[in-house]
Amino acid sequence: MSEAENLVVGANGVAVPHFEHSGEGYRSYEVHQRERVGQSTEKINGAQLASADYAANPYPYLQILRENYPCYRDWINNCYWVTGYDDVTSIFTDEANFETRPKLWYYGLQGFGRDLRNEMPVLWAWSKAMDGFAVPVAEQLIAGFGKGEADLARDFAVQYPIVLLGRMLEIPDDELGTFAVRYWRAQRGVLWYPQAQLAGRQALDELVRYFTPKLAAASDQETSVLAAVAAVGGSAADLVTTLLEADHQTLHGALANLWMNLLIEPVNFDHVKQDHMAMKIAYLETLRHSPPVITAERFARHEVERFGRLIPEGGLMRISALAANRDPRIFADGDRFDVDRRDICHREARGQYRADGLPQGIAFGLGRPSRHPAVPEDRPRSLYALTRDTAVAASWTLAQMLPDLRLRDGTTPVARCLRIGETYACWELPVRF
């Protein structure tokens, strides 16, 4: 229906939209729970869960939730918090009842473009390009460090995924800076901050304009992501949508937090620089100990009962990887970064969050565990595996090129969110070598 037909002129001469609903019935919430005296939740309130202190260090708040209120009804932020490991994974793997809303939805831009991550040719080109550039990009960034010192968070971890994408998308060096700014803004515009929304919205349009001619002129190389996008009939808006939905947070945050964890206790770094496998375990332990995406949002597709609560249709579940990954029922001494941890699985989990009977550190942003074989023949490996291998390759390169890396004296790096809801990462990691 057109905008004009959809308007009704109200009694005061004001035009208002006419709301069409299907009339297929509805349900009032006759059957909702009464909270009893023993169920009061005075140990925490919603405002604390959206506070500056929470952004700086969410862990103490999440611990209160996990240890007291398995499904906390937060009236301030209008959501349900789920924080126990098994509860979190049960929601995360339950696509029948809980939906993920794409980043485009948060922008209010349904229909802007198509996410091409289901298109096999795009996935193939993507993974080949990523594998091909993983080490050269790391080498290039490291070569550009200042003399004897650098900030690993800013000069390496944040830049790495963006430069890598730049290479994968055949962006020339002199355009890389502009691309980086636009990409960064587009990602930050997803959330609630109005200036960021505006800048992000603008960046999306600029990216579409930028990629339109590139896509038309795409080569036909097998590893060219642009060519693959063109081959499946994707437009520049589709490409930009795919970039928006694709995860860079995990790669960035995992690198930043991995190096933070390795350098805070130099024995950890000594341990991993000898042994490629140890670097991989350290990466897995980082995803567990300090996951870059600390909470994810899932919406109830329909009324559903969980954890003894009736969750109404549309109810927002805020599920926390950070809280779950330190659940003492699952991981011994969970607050400790244990570079050689034995109670997490070292293989990629399949389908559920466990492999070899051991739990995996939950990492949002990479999708739920893939059901496909670890090394499939007919498709590239999972995003989880691809991100892991890239992060480990980049970190290994760094460790081999600068084996005497150490924190600059007097610094104590921490992880935090720049803004509520954003990546939980170490943003300042000054080092000497």
Partner 1 sequence: MDALRDFTAELDTDIHSDDPGGDRDFPLMPVGQAVDMGQAPDGTPLLDPRVLHSREFFRNPYPYYRIMRDHYPCFHDKLHNTYYVTRYEDVWRCYFDDEGFNTIPKGSSSGVLGNTQLELSGVEHRRRRNLYGQHLVGRSLDLRVPSIQRLARQMIDDWDDMLDSGYVFDDGRKRIVELGMAFANEFPVRVVCEVLGFPNEARKQFFYWYNSMMSGLGGSALQKQGLEARQSLEDYVQEIVEERRRKPSYLKDEDGNVIGKDIITKLCETRVDGDYLSTEEITSNIALVVAAGGETTRGAIVNMWYLLLQHPEQFAAVCADTENWNRAFHETLRNSSPIGGQPRHNSHDLEMHGVHVPAGSLMQMVDFSANHDDRVFKDPEKFDIFRPDLYSGKLLRSGYSKEGRCSHMAFGVGPHLCPGAWISHQEAVEGSRILQQRLKNVRIVEDRMAKDIDGKSLAPIGIVRVPALWLEFDRP
Q: Scanning residues 27 to 66, which ones bind partner 1 (CB under 8 A)? A: 27-30, 32-37, 39-42, 45-47, 50-56
Binding mask 120-149 for partner 1 (x = CB under 8 A): --------------------xx--x-----
DSSP for 324-373 reads HHT-TTTSTTTTS--TT-SSS-SS---SSSEETTEE----TTS-SPP-S-
Closest separation in Å from C-beta 395 to partner 1: 18
Closest separation in Å from C-beta 11 to partner 1: 4
Closest Cα partner for 298 from 126, 94, 148, 60? 94
Closest Cα partner for 291 from 283, 279, 303, 299? 283
Choices 8-16, 61-69, 87-95, 331-339; region in contact with partner 1 by CB under 8 A = 8-16
Read off the tokens for 293: 């995406």
Closest separation in Å from C-beta 198 to partner 1: 6
- Single residue of 94, 124, 135, 180 touching partner 1 by CB under 8 A: 180
Which is closer to partner 1, CB of 312 or CB of 367? 312
* Euclidean distance between CA atoms 234 and 228, whole angstroms: 9
Under the criterion CB under 8 A, does residue 191 sit at the interface with partner 1? Answer: yes
* Euclidean distance between CA atoms 357 and 90, whole angstroms: 16
Which is closer to partner 1, CB of 27 or CB of 336? 27
DSSP structure class, residue 94: -
Under the criterion CB under 8 A, does residue 323 sit at the interface with partner 1? Answer: no
Which is closer to partner 1, CB of 15 or CB of 332? 15
Which is closer to partner 1, CB of 42 or CB of 220? 42
Report residue 371: phi and psi, to 5°: -90, -10
Contacts of 268 (CB under 8 A, 6+ apart): 261, 262, 282, 337, 339
Footprint of partner 1 on 261-290 (CB under 8 A): none
Please tell me the count of residues contacting partner 1 according to CB under 8 A.
Answer: 88
C-beta separation of 280 from 264 below 8 A = no
Under the criterion CB under 8 A, does residue 336 sit at the interface with partner 1? Answer: no
Under the criterion CB under 8 A, does residue 2 sit at the interface with partner 1? Answer: no
Read off the tokens for 103: 């980043």
Under the criterion CB under 8 A, does residue 315 sit at the interface with partner 1? Answer: yes
* Residue 74 C-beta-side C-alpha neighbours within 13 Å: 23
Question: Pseudo-torsion of CA 49, 50, 53, 56, nearest 10°?
Answer: 100
Which is closer to partner 1, CB of 37 or CB of 267? 37
Footprint of partner 1 on 144-173 (CB under 8 A): 144, 154-155, 158-159, 162-163, 173
Which is closer to partner 1, CB of 21 or CB of 342? 21
Footprint of partner 1 on 402-431 (CB under 8 A): 416-421, 427-428
Closest separation in Å from C-beta 24 to partner 1: 8
Footprint of partner 1 on 380-399 (CB under 8 A): none
Q: For 217-317, where are the alpha helices, taking DSSP H only?
A: 225-231, 236-245, 249-264, 266-273, 276-289
Report residue 400: phi and psi, to 5°: -75, -35
Closest Cα partner for 430 from 134, 157, 58? 157
- Single residue of 60, 314, 328, 403 touching partner 1 by CB under 8 A: 314
C-beta separation of 242 from 151 below 8 A = no
Under the criterion CB under 8 A, does residue 108 sit at the interface with partner 1? Answer: yes
Which is closer to partner 1, CB of 17 or CB of 376? 17
Closest separation in Å from C-beta 64 to partner 1: 14
Closest separation in Å from C-beta 79 to partner 1: 6
C-beta separation of 75 from 64 below 8 A = no
Which is closer to partner 1, CB of 65 or CB of 383? 65
